[in-house]
Amino acid sequence: MIPVSVVTGFLGAGKSTLLRRVLRDPAWADSAVIVNEFGEVPLDHDLIAASEESFVSASTGCLCCVVRDDLTRTLLDLLARREAGEVPRYRRVLVETSGLADPAPILHALMTDRALAATHALAGVVTLVDALHGAAALARHPEAQRQVLLADRILVTKTDLAPVPEAAIRALNPAAPLRAAEHGAADPGWLLAPAPPPAALPDWAARHTAGLGSVVIEREAPLPALALTLWMQGLAEHCGTRLLRLKGLVALAEQPDRPAVVHAIQHMVHPLDWLEAWPGGDRRTRLVLIGERIPRHFPARLLAAVEAEVAAELARRA
């Protein structure tokens, strides 16, 4: 039996950061990670660098709705490839859901598919709650509520930025063991220890916030760092709380040989990070925005306008 842990948590809660840390621990390196993202372009795949014993398989779309059957198929397919020696002999599977996934239908699929139940055992649901944005997400988004409601263990992240939103969490889930962690520094043994399967769940149908969508920007030409900063400021001003998440790999004109990693959660822009090299040699900038009623063409048009302004300013200074 291969244990399957579901790692969930609202947009930007720190799921990929946690999994990156877990895979770096030699005791947990022999894991297969299945990452699901809401935007049309997978990025987490490149942000969770896998070790030699582990690997990451990615899908986009809504895991709890359209690609639910894909998860069952992916797990069985991976197992067949494991037996055939085509992938590392992983000893557990970690499923990172998208931040907008309702875990209930996912658990249902894992527990009811016969072939899956004969080979895999649900090891539990780990839910990450962002100390800074978690209480607001729990107040507004049914996905966030269900993630906490169904948690076997709760990890509160970003406690370097804000205190644990204990009241909001305990109103939904009074009993699940809770710990805090900064930058994913949690004990995987505690997080991923098998939990008894859920006895009864209210219902299995996915609950979703209305009007959410994603916009993708892809481009070849490197972008001046100033243009990136001004674009993100412009987006935050225009979209306000409707912009839930922005993430991406960016080719900056100042350092085009490695990608800058950009993260923003609502108006909070996290410090730029860098990957050592372009994953798979694809040097295009890829940005994914997730929000409520974001006009489809607005982000790209704003970027073009900001870029032209920055180019004119640099030409004036030269």
Query: Tokens 């209210």 sit at which residue?
Result: 202
CA dist 14 to 51, 74, 181, 262, 282, Å? 20, 24, 10, 14, 25
Please tell me the distance from the alpha carbon of residue 63 to that of residue 61, in angstroms, as a whole number: 6
Among residues 4, 6, 9, 62, which is the contact residue for ligand GTP, using CB under 6 A? 9
Tell me if 88 contacts ligand GTP by CB under 6 A.
no
Closer by beta carbon to ligand GTP, 12 or else 134: 12
Tell me if 13 contacts ligand GTP by CB under 6 A.
yes
Tell me if 161 contacts ligand GTP by CB under 6 A.
yes
DSSP E strands, the chain = 2-9, 31-37, 55-60, 92-96, 120-130, 153-157, 178-181, 212-219, 243-252, 255-265, 268-269, 273-274, 285-292
Please tell me the distance from the alpha carbon of residue 318 to that of residue 303, in angstroms, as a whole number: 22
Tell me if 183 contacts ligand GTP by CB under 6 A.
yes
DSSP-assigned letter for residue 240:
G
Closer by beta carbon to ligand GTP, 184 or else 188: 184
Please tell me the distance from the alpha carbon of residue 197 to that of residue 108, in angstroms, as a whole number: 11
Closer by beta carbon to ligand GTP, 107 or else 131: 131
The contact pattern for ligand GTP, residues 237-276, with x = CB under 6 A and - = no contact, is --------x-x---------------x------x------
Among residues 4, 5, 6, 17, which is the contact residue for ligand GTP, using CB under 6 A? 17
Closer by beta carbon to ligand GTP, 16 or else 173: 16
Single-letter amino acid, residue 11: L
Binding footprint of ligand GTP, residue count (CB under 6 A): 21
| Residue 71 · residue 60 · CB < 8 Å | no
Among residues 157, 214, 266, 285, which is the contact residue for ligand GTP, using CB under 6 A? 157
Binding residues for ligand GTP, rule: CB under 6 A, are 9, 11-17, 44, 99, 157-158, 160-161, 182-184, 245, 247, 263, 270
